[in-house]
């Protein structure tokens, strides 16, 4: 690919390239037909008068909407723009490029049609009401980039009230992929999940969900020590107890984890620990090399902050860590949510699951870990690569099977059938993108020196 250069021939920075390409493409997603149109007569079938027939069929049998429309393959990506990537509260318009990017990943990796919906409200109750009102048009909802503690309330209320599956990728997606990476990392270092001591650095959306999924996977709650910016969590944290009504998940962590009642900060918590899972402030320096040196032999470190991890991988490895994972693609072991949500939603939509349970997320994590193991585990390869698209049909089948086993699936064609159909759907999405590119239907790279226009 040719590097875009400015008029002074200075190599463009990644940010400058992104601005040029976004301006040239006017965004990243569009709507295209999925039915053939060969002439005017086709519109009499696809629109009026022919469209009245499926409308009346759905009126008489509401479930027929899944047969006659694209509802079963359409997801709403809902955000209020209050916690966007590493950018924070930048607002709904500024969040739109991220949501479009998410829609691109949904389509290219999962064959799922996703619609970015950025809301002009930050009120939790209004977000819930608006999302519930969208249900007739969508087969599922992906909540994205909503600040805490509001995100916990929004997810819980929507999961309780919605007729379609609702997923918060910053919570459930992060937890699923981290668990997959942890299973691979522990296999490399020869330790068992039920026997390790784990430290969670940061107790925001990602690590609250990670704690819940770790326990579901077999980790003893008492073997986990969680830390926030004020130190370790334990029953003596009166500041958290005073906010228990607002932060129930955090207070629950105080009362159920940290059996040894470790007090102090992150350094104290990491002493002798086998695993560090950090979703905290961008570093470097959030996690010190000296703290990693004090961990157990063959330690595993997840430094997941973006854009800069809590500790640089080279520093963690030099301090004694055996496996290091980050959220970045320019280091080995990228624990990126895009390994999880495309396949998970593919499976959920294909069996019309009514929710996404922790058991389904756990099944997805185990399938991701199994896929990585089949490809060959190494200290620098404990999770699947984003370039291996066949992982997504596998995750779809595992998620769908778990939904069926838990009685959450409306249809069940069988695990192999779900996987095969997912392969066909995802392959078709990838081929269609390449066909549009080959036909010149996608915006070309802008010329050198071009500036974005309003």
**What's the rounded Cα separation, in Å, for the pair 74 and 416?**
23
Q: What is the enclosing helix (H) or strand (E) of 98?
A: helix 92-110
Sheet harboring 224-228: ordered strands across? 231-232, 224-228, 198-201, 275-278, 299-303, 321-326
CA–CA gap between residue 94 and residue 322 (Å, rounded): 39
Spatial CA neighbour of 408 closest among 352, 343, 345, 338: 352
In degrees and rounded to multiples of 5, residue 287 shows phi and psi of: -115, 120
Check if 47 is active-site. Answer: yes
> Pairing relation of β-strands 299-303 and 224-228?
unpaired
Backbone dihedral angles phi then psi of residue 114, each to the nearest 5 degrees: -120, 140
Coil, strand, or helix at residue 228?
strand
The DSSP result for 298-338, as a single string, is: TEEEEE--SSS-SS-HHHHHHTTEEEEEES-TTSSSB--GG
Helix orientation angle between 391-405 and 92-110, rounded to the nearest 10 degrees? 90
Q: Which residue has the tokens 């249900």?
A: 135
Q: Where on the phi/psi map is residue 388: left (φ > 0), alpha (ψ -120 to 50), or beta?
A: beta
Tell me which DSSP letter residue 3 carries: P
Out of 28, 71, 102, 150, the active site residue is: 102
State whether residue 118 is helix, strand or coil. Answer: strand
Distance CA 191, CA 278 (A): 20
**Catalytic site residue 108?**
no
* Helices within 111-247 (DSSP H only): 124-133, 150-161, 174-189, 205-217, 238-241
Active site residues: 47, 102
């Amino acid at each position: 690919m040719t590097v875009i250069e400015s008029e002074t021939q200075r190599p463009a920075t990644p940010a400058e390239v992104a601005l040029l390409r976004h301006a040239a493409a006017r965004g990243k997603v569009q709507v295209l037909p999925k039915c053939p149109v060969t002439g005017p007569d086709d519109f009499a079938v696809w629109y009026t008068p022919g469209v009245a027939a499926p409308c009346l069929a759905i009126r008489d049998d509401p479930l027929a909407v899944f047969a006659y429309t694209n509802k079963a393959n359409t997801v709403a990506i809902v955000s209020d723009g209050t916690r966007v990537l590493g950018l924070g509260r930048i607002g709904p318009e500024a969040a739109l490029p991220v949501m479009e990017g998410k829609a691109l990943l949904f389509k290219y990796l999962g064959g799922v049609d996703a619609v970015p919906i950025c809301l002009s409200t930050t009120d939790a109750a209004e977000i819930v009401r608006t999302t519930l009102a969208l249900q007739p048009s969508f087969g599922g909802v992906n909540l994205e980039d909503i600040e805490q503690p509001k995100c916990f309330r929004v997810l819980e209320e929507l999961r309780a009230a919605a007729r379609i599956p609702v997923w918060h990728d910053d919570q459930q997606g992060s937890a699923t992929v981290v668990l997959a990476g942890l299973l691979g990392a522990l296999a490399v270092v020869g330790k068992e999940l039920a026997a390790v001591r784990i430290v969670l650095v940061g107790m925001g959306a990602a690590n609250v969900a990670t704690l819940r999924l770790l326990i579901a996977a077999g980790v003893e709650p008492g073997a986990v020590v969680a830390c926030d910016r004020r130190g370790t969590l334990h029953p003596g944290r009166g500041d958290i107890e005073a906010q228990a009504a607002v932060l129930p998940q955090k207070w629950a962590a105080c009362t159920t984890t940290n059996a040894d009642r470790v007090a102090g900060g992150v350094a104290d918590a990491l002493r002798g620990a086998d695993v560090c899972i950090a979703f905290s402030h961008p570093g470097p320096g959030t996690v010190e090399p000296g703290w990693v040196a004090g961990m157990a032999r063959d330690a595993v470190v997840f430094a997941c902050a973006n854009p800069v991890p809590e500790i640089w991988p080279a520093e963690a490895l030099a301090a004694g860590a055996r496996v290091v994972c980050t959220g970045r693609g320019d280091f080995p072991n990228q624990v990126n949510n895009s390994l999880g949500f495309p396949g998970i939603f593919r499976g959920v939509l294909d069996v019309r699951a009514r929710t996404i349970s922790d058991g389904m997320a756990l099944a997805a994590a185990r399938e991701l870990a199994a896929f990585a193991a089949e490809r060959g585990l190494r200290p620098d390869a404990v999770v699947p690569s984003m370039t291996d698209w066949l992982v997504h049909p596998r995750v779809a089948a595992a998620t769908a099977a778990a939904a069926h086993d838990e009685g959450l699936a409306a249809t069940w064609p069988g695990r192999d059938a779900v996987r095969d159909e997912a392969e066909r759907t995802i392959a078709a999405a990838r081929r269609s993108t390449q066909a549009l590119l080959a036909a010149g239907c996608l915006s070309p790279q802008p010329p050198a020196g071009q500036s974005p226009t309003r």
